[in-house]
A and B are shown apart, each in its own frame.
Chain A
Amino acid sequence: MIERHVRSPHGARRGQSFIEAMVAITVIITAISSSLALIQSSITATRVGGMQVIAANLAREGLEVVRAARDTNWLMGRSFQVGLVDGAGNKTARPMLDTENGSWTLSFEPTSMGAANAAVYLMSDGVYRQADTPPTGGAASPYSRLLTLQHVCRDDGTGVERIVGSSATCLGSETLAGLAVYSTVRWRGAGGQQQTLAVEERLYDWR
């Protein structure tokens, strides 16, 4: 290194200038920090992927609970919508598991995605549950889940279908043909960012 230093015409050694040193340090710091950032992002991305698998399954669970409720209505010989359309006009629901017998019910208690009662708890036996109040033996999980069941109305004359939003119901000239079910799972990811996964299914009154 020392031999390579250029000598000035006066014979004195010229050292590295401050600018050169700064440039060198900047380059090194950039290289190190970018590699660290790369590592960090790869860990985060993988963890997000892992949580996404769990979220997708929780979301599917919501859809399947509604489907099972509709199929149960068929087996009982009653209208497909019993228990799926709230009398008070609430269209958001939470699937509730009864761990005593494994059966599911839909709770139309007022709730929203950010509400405490939309949270999913992880029980000590590895079961995810939603409850009105934190269940004993359950730890808070990063997930929240909400179902939205909107009416699919078919016009009796034209046969045209439409999904009615908010608290509206079908018009007099329409028939409730089915339900558009949205299952949304939201969770706080590894980096503290909020992630959302939504799945949709239309359930009609025919098999």
Chain B
Amino acid sequence: MKTAPRGITLMELLVVMGIFSLTVALTSSIFLLSNQAQRRVLAITAAQADLRFTLESIVREVRAGSIDYETYEAAGGIQAPSLNLIIRSASGSRLEFYKETNPSICPAGVAGCLAVRVDGVAQSVTSSGILLENLAFFITPQADPFSIDEDSGLYKADAQPTVTLALKVRTQGRRPEDIVTLNAQTTIAARSYVR
């Protein structure tokens, strides 16, 4: 003997729909959250990688090369902070690190980037999606310790060339989770022992 299948009561339907919509809402919110987190992780990783690369490229040049005091002197001396860092590299070329805003040099869509001018030709060091907000160099001593002052017959300064660089980068993006700001700073003492 078979009993006829009983239908679903309104109450049961409501409960089922309630649970179902709750589950859907919960899973979609988790999905959105994980998506957001993923984007944030991506942004932090990108900023971090770029920061590391940028810092290391400057550190390497300061260590191996020497500060181009001649160019600074011709331009009126070294400011504190200085907006650029001019290095005479070990191979003899002149490198200038500075903040570039020219869109034809910076990666597409970036309003400011850290660029290096090698013998007059500029190219960006920071990659696309990374905005350079701030760049400052502190160069000490402010006069060349390896050249002699003609008037006094003494060396112009008695200190090992040291460069402190502070930079602030921001990842670019439309959503708030895409935007990460990192402030980094380091100091490098030149490894050249001329005197």
Contacts and interface: CB of A to CB of B under 8 A. Distances in A.
B8 interface: yes
B81 interface: yes
Interface residues of A, number: 44
Query: Is chain B's binding surface mostly helix, strand, loop or mixed?
Result: mixed
A125 B55 CA distance: 18
Interface string A122-133: 100111100000
B23 to A, nearest CB: 8
A58 B44 contact: no
Given A3-B5, A103-B159, A207-B193, A122 B41 contact: no
Nearest to A61: B187
A87 interface: no
Contact of A35 (B34, B48, B82, B141): B34
Given A39-B37, A43-B41, A103-B141, A126 B168 contact: yes
Nearest to B192: A71
A32 interface: yes
26 contacts: A32-B26, A39-B33, A39-B34, A40-B37, A43-B41, A46-B40, A46-B41, A46-B48, A49-B48, A54-B184, A60-B187, A61-B164, A61-B185, A64-B186, A64-B188, A65-B162, A65-B187, A74-B160, A74-B193, A75-B159, A102-B80, A102-B162, A125-B136, A126-B136, A127-B164, A141-B183
Interface of A: 2-3, 11, 32, 35-36, 39-40, 42-43, 46-47, 49-50, 53-54, 57-58, 60-61, 64-65, 67-68, 71-72, 74-76, 95, 97, 99-104, 122, 125-128, 141, 207
